[in-house]
Amino acid sequence: MSTPADILQKYWGYAHFRPLQEDIVQSILKGQDTLALMPTGGGKSVCFQVPALMRKGVCLVVTPLIALMKDQVANLQKRNIPAAAIYAGMYYQDVERLLEDARRGLFKFLYVSPERLQSKRFLEYCDGMPLNLIAVDEAHCISQWGYDFRPAYLEIAAIREYFPGIPVLALTASATPKVQKDICDRLLMKTPQIFTKSFARSNLSYSVMQEEEKQVKLAYILGRVTGSAIIYCRSRKRCREIADQLELQGVSASYYHAGLTGDERSARQELWLKNHIRVMVCTNAFGMGIDKPDVRVVIHYDAPDSLEAYYQEAGRAGRDEQKAYAVLLYNTEELDHMVDNIALSFPELSKIKEVFQCLVNYLQVAVGSAEGVYFDFDINDFARRFELNITMTYSALRILEQEGVLQLSESVFLPSMVEFVTNKETLYAFEDAQPALEPLIKRLLRTYEGIFDNPVPVYEKQLARLLRLTEEQIVKGLIQLHQRGIIHYRQRKNEPQLCFVEDRVSADRLYVDTARIRERMKTYKERLDALLNYINNKSICRTQVIATYFGEKDATECGVCDICLQKKVKPLSSQDFKQLSTELLLQLQPEPEEWNLLYQRLSHIKEDRLKEVIQFLIAEGKAGRDEDGKVYLVL
């Protein structure tokens, strides 16, 4: 009989498990409910893939990340492991086919989005499906006290009654003790085994820097740290601006956010993964499920709103266990703005109803309609058209999602749809008049059953292969048939979507649990306070602060963060201070200049020493700093 190590070697080519992986595997093989907290890039997927391959049946994997689903299915298939994915936006014919194959045991892994678990069709197929494990990725999403609560996750526990005795494995990279307990409770775990890998990363140096001129600091950091980099920003506009500025400075960079098309996101991600682009400037839409081990620095140009988010994003640096850096830049005005924004993040009920009314007007959705219908949705255009505050709008929509009214998705793949809208006599006459389009018409009718009576999903690549044409030629032909009134053709979508979970109600009948929102706001404030304490901390090791927040009690000082390094610095002697002052005064110019230019000329001096001396010279009136942060010699 194969051992876990045999399976690991056979399918992945690894001789040994990473720390905790084998313990988690053994827990599952014993049939125990298990919670695993492992850092980003820690090899979570192996923890459920190995035991699932050792047991008869199918492993059901629940994850909200469509891109990750597709990647993991493709990777499993490359290893000749049968796997499939079902996610929001697929059509019922495809879903039923995959569910039937899963019930027949044709797959070892079936990936599903949490929304799919709400489907009556899915629950029907649960009866008789030979499951051996339920794996829940991003498990913190099930907790209302977590930083990324998603109501669809609450449905996961309901399917356990269909599979008595089947263990559940919950996986997450970050969860406080309170959230850990909530995960176990909500997944109905019985005496769960909890495995926690240390939150300390010995190769990752954390730094927090107060900077008024962040763009200057970016250039300085990227000049000192070579290799691949990620820069996180809050706004899409800032992503583009910073990427453009870096390009002007000779640093290869691109930007990534949810407002780009699926093809644009994929293309830019691929260029970065292959190191054709050094720096990716992005919102938090980037990074989940992306495995790039050689990221040398992650810079937060804007602070996130929780330590959970920061730890996840910063943790994308140094997965190869080589030296890497996580830098958070801030200014006091920005932190004050985050505190002031709490009210916008949890709007009053009247504001939520106002956004809802504007939304149904924007999408032209009538009362009593639209259940399960997907709409193209550009939140920026929506907020602009109705003159709504974008932060308040996004927050109101997220609350409506958490209340089960609607679903937002960064990208939902919807295949192209075709339906013939003419009678057979007109179609025959059209074929005689347009012989060039006749092969495409014939192929549509032969390949897609029911296409003459109902809209059906069609696949341009499949048609291109069958007709030995290019995909572009197929699309052109379908558009011509649409324009001539022969078919109705709706091209595939891979764009941000909004879907109503139930038929639309009138705004005055919209139910929102305001008490629950107040409780979430309280928890949000606690998370924000923890982040602000991390930023303002000047004495405790950064790694210790993070580890303690996540419930780790015995973390030691890392020795490599900015706090630890500062402790190692000996005070300047009066002689050294005098020497540095003299050297600095000789380099200062009467005309204000950028700090990094001055530092380049004095790069043999440590930056913190240089700042200490310049502050002294400013206080003495021998140097000055203008409103742009540039320094100059006072004559």
First vs last C-alpha separation in the chain:
84
Segment of 2-16, 251-265, 348-362 carrying the highest mean pLDDT: 348-362
Confidence band, pLDDT 50/70/90 cuts, at residue 282: very high
Domain positions in the chain: 4-196, 204-330+537-563, 338-413+496-522, 417-490, 574-633
Which of 9-13, 384-388, 453-457 is least confident?
Answer: 453-457
pLDDT of residue 632: 81
* Mean pLDDT across 273-295: 89
pLDDT of residue 250: 94
* Mean pLDDT across 352-361: 96
Written as one letter, the residue type at 101 is D
Per-residue pLDDT reduced to its tens digit, 199-244: 998 899 999 999 888 988 899 899 989 999 999 999 888 999 999 9
Of 382, 498, 502, nearest to 89 by C-alpha is 498
Q: What CATH class has 204-330+537-563?
A: alpha beta
Confidence band, pLDDT 50/70/90 cuts, at residue 68: confident
pLDDT of residue 203: 93
The CATH number of the domain covering residues in 4-196: 3.40.50.300
Contact, 130 vs 105, CB < 8 A? yes
Asked, colleague to colleague, whether 338-413+496-522 and 574-633 share their fold, the answer is yes
pLDDT of residue 91: 66
Per-residue pLDDT reduced to its tens digit, 461-511: 889 989 999 989 999 999 999 999 999 998 876 667 788 988 999 999 999
Of 552, 562, 541, nearest to 607 by C-alpha is 562
Residue with tokens 């308040």: 392
C-alpha 407/C-alpha 424 separation (Å) is: 40
pLDDT of residue 430: 92
pLDDT reading at 245 higher than 60: yes
Does an H or E element contain 253, and which? strand 253-256
Confidence band, pLDDT 50/70/90 cuts, at residue 126: confident
pLDDT of residue 19: 86
pLDDT reading at 414 higher than 60: yes
> What are φ and ψ of residue 623, in 5° steps?
-140, 165
pLDDT of residue 89: 63
Contact, 554 vs 201, CB < 8 A? no
Contact, 227 vs 298, CB < 8 A? no
C-alpha 420/C-alpha 414 separation (Å) is: 19
Looking at 2.40.10, 1.20.1740, 1.10.3470, 1.10.10, the CATH number of the domain 574-633 comes to 1.10.10
Confidence band, pLDDT 50/70/90 cuts, at residue 298: very high
DSSP for 76-95 reads HHHTT--EEEE-TT--HHHH
Per-residue pLDDT reduced to its tens digit, 421-441: 888 889 999 999 999 999 999
pLDDT of residue 412: 57
Which of 184-188, 431-435, 490-494, 561-565 is least confident?
Answer: 490-494
pLDDT reading at 533 higher than 80: yes
Which of 249-253, 428-432, 449-453, 597-601 is least confident?
Answer: 597-601
Mean pLDDT computed over every residue of the chain: 88
Fill in the DSSP letter of residue 34: E
Distance (Å) of CA 604 to CA 291, 489, 565, 579, 633: 36, 66, 17, 13, 21
* Torsion, CA 55, CA 60, CA 63, CA 68, rounded to 10: 60
Looking at 1.10.760.10, 3.40.50.150, 1.10.10.10, 3.30.300.210, the CATH number of the domain 338-413+496-522 comes to 1.10.10.10
pLDDT of residue 374: 81
Confidence band, pLDDT 50/70/90 cuts, at residue 410: low
Confidence band, pLDDT 50/70/90 cuts, at residue 411: low
606 versus 113: the higher-pLDDT residue is: 113
C-alpha 59/C-alpha 36 separation (Å) is: 17
pLDDT of residue 95: 83
